[in-house]
Amino acid sequence: MFDRQTTALIQPTLDALARVFVRAGVGANALTFTGLVLGWLAAAAIALQMTLTGAALILASRLFDGLDGAVARQTTPTDRGGFLDISLDFLFYPAIPLAFAIADPAHNALAAALLLAAFVGTGTSFLAFAVIAAKRGLTNAAYPNKSFYFLGGLTEATETLAFFIAMCVWPSQFALLAGVFAAMCAVTIATRVHWGWQAFAPTEAERADNRKSPR
């Protein structure tokens, strides 16, 4: 919900840091992989109940996740890089709820499972919309630098990061925070399904083909 505002706020800093990496010859894909490794290290720290260390590593991970796009735009963006970016993001996000479940199964496992199920819904609706949007040649003017149609919602990267940090700062409240965030994800899923239903209504050509098809 707040990704556009957050991006506008931090983009000048990301661009300045990206210029340093470009001059050093560090490519965008290397930064993408670094972000994933830091994210997994954060999950490992949380699983060991070192949650404040986990919070710091999550922030570092997401910094590199933002830097890879900034570096790509200053060099040569590629479809391979865009694919890698979104794929590794979806390998990072589930690791954090899983880590809390490992840290305290008795109190956190059910809430973590609920949140992971919600992540499946948000991820599926997000990627399904992007696939059909690409097929139809649609673009999102709000996110012109993305490699794919970026569909927003109530729970975007900014909200996810905020909840992850809150979980690390108050680990005893993980179940409550996970339940609230899962409910927010459910709203995102519902709105995305609605948007997709509206956006992908049959075109005139498709209606004509349907009328020609034998019943």
pLDDT per residue as tens, the chain (215 positions) = 666 788 788 889 999 999 999 999 999 999 999 999 999 999 999 999 999 999 999 999 999 999 999 999 999 888 899 899 999 999 999 999 999 999 999 999 999 999 999 999 999 988 888 888 888 777 664 555 555 555 667 788 889 999 999 999 999 999 999 999 999 999 999 998 988 898 888 866 666 666 666 55
Q: Taking Cα atoms as reference points, which of 86, 193, 61 lies closest to residue 150?
A: 86
The length of the chain in residues reads: 215
Helices (H), 93-156: 95-103, 105-136
Domain at 3-200, CATH homologous superfamily? CDP-alcohol phosphotransferase transmembrane (TM) domain (1.20.120.1760)
| Integer Cα distance of 121 and 133 in angstroms | 18
Q: Taking Cα atoms as reference points, which of 130, 33, 27, 13 lies closest to residue 74?
A: 27
Helix (H, G, I), strand (E, B) or coil at 104: coil
Q: Which amino acid is at 72?
A: A
Spans of all domains in the chain: 3-200
At residue 76, the pLDDT reads: 86
What predicted TM-score, i.e. pTM, was given to this entire model? Answer: 0.85
